[in-house]
Structure 1
Amino acid sequence: MDELDTPKTEGWDLFVETPDVTIYRLYDEASGLYHYKTWGQVPTVPPEICSKVYVDFAYRKKWDSYCKVLEFKECDGKKLLYWQLDFPFPMSNRDYVFAQEFRILEKGGRKHWIVLAKSETTPSLPEVSGVVRVDRYLQSAVMCTNGNGGTKAFIRYFDNPGGNIPKWFLNWAAKTAVPHFLKQMTKACEGYEDYVKEKEKQESS
């Protein structure tokens, strides 16, 4: 939570900096990949709404252009998420099996909405032919008010996408796909209340 207000970037390299998004990365020698820290804002929507959008997976399938499949699965007494992402041709799609935890904590007189995710392995969800399974995935996201009716967020993440991924694609994903996703999410947050009203209307009719 502290990094929302006081970023810790010593030893990390500045990778992307725009008015809305800042991304740092740290090289992981064991995997040859990077850990990422992302700071961003949704200036028009409060964190109560942004946090709901972040974990409303039925809604996410409507607005996230990278999301092909996203659904809960009951596996060995656990509630896990199965997530498949569209990768551009000629690369295979990637999929994830992970547990997710949602918390609301208060610190310094402010509420913080926290989402934690970690990859899981289960025989109940075997690998899919033609899709590369991401077997190491970690993400933590923290959201709070920006003091002006909007949301500021900090996300730390790492995944090992498996297969032979060229460096140009990894750079593209971090530099282009992540900011694009945040723009999509901003629009989704702005439209969430209308989505909920329409959904309730359909369910009651």
Structure 2
Amino acid sequence: MEKADHFSEEEFRKACAELEAPAKGSRGWETLVESEDFNIYRLLDEQTGLYEYKAFGDFKNCPPALCADVYMDLEYRKQWDSYVKELYETKIQGKTVVYWEVNYPFPMYNRDYVYVRDRRDLYLNGRTIHVILAKSFSIPEIPEKDGIIRVKDYRQSLVIESDGKQGCKVSMFYHDNPEGMIPSWLINWAAKNGVPNFLKDILKACKNYHKKT
């Protein structure tokens, strides 16, 4: 696999550690959702008033490599993610950059993201771990659009490992600053409901992936 140039080896290994050290009981992290399939925690950034989120889930009967492939397949995501308004990957200045516009409910403005991402399959202590990292990336070739709010502070990591059976364990870290006048209760509601629904949608997309062509 081509070596990633947007992220350091240390960043990939730090993301791997999230599977070994769930947020529950960690300093500052509080439980947002606990269920049989998904656990979600949040940590308040006192300077910005925004939260960072960690989600842990079990995808039964979904092989880890398949889950990673589905997450990386942007064309397929347009089929299963109803919040996608526009999504594409392009090469600019030798870098692979993703543009993503997200549908927001009326009367709010849509948000869009410009970011870089990399996937690396690591082999640690006899285990294969798939790690996908993403972060905001500002580039003049993709300027802001009228009527759409550009999210300039976005970070996400996804770590996928076999559950020892036919499925996989998934760890996701997520943070963004949606800008604009969005009530905190709505942001919290979106995290509490949107993250589990997103994970469920990925699982469903994995099951249907062989049917996409």
Which residue matches 1:7?
Answer: 22
RMSD across aligned positions (CA): 1.1
Which residue matches 1:202?
Answer: none
Q: Distance in 1 between matches of 2:118 and 2:36?
A: 30
Question: Any conservation in 1 of the 2:28–2:44 contact (CA below 8 Å)?
Answer: no
CA-CA distance at 1:79 after TM superposition: 1.4
**Letter of the aligned partner of 1:62 in structure 2?**
Q
Structure 2, unaligned runs of 5 or more: 1-15
Deviates more, 1:106-115 or 1:66-75: 66-75
**Letter of the aligned partner of 2:139 in structure 1?**
T
Q: Distance in 2 between matches of 1:105 and 1:192?
A: 24
Percent identity, aligned pairs only, is 46
Which residue matches 1:133?
Answer: 150
Give the match's secondary structure for 2:186: helix
Residue deviations 1:58-113 (CA, integer Å, cap 9, x gap): 10000011111110122233210000111111111110000000100011211000
1:178 lines up with 2:177 in the alignment: no
Which residue matches 1:88?
Answer: 105
Aligned equivalent of 2:133, options 103, 112, 116: 116
Which residue matches 1:33?
Answer: 50
Q: Distance in 2 between matches of 1:153 and 1:194?
A: 23
The 5-angstrom pairing of residues 1-205 of structure 1 reads 1-8=16-23, 9-195=26-212, 199=213
**Letter of the aligned partner of 1:21 in structure 2?**
F
Q: Distance in 2 between matches of 1:64 and 1:41?
A: 20
**Letter of the aligned partner of 1:40 in structure 2?**
G
Residue deviations 1:26-59 (CA, integer Å, cap 9, x gap): 1012211001111012112110110000000010
Q: Distance in 1 between matches of 2:153 and 2:18?
A: 23
Residue deviations 1:157-204 (CA, integer Å, cap 9, x gap): 110111111112101110111111111111100011222xxx2xxxxx
Normalising by structure 1, report the TM-score.
Answer: 0.92
Give the match's secondary structure for 2:89: strand
Structure 1, unaligned runs of 5 or more: 200-205
**Letter of the aligned partner of 1:81 in structure 2?**
V
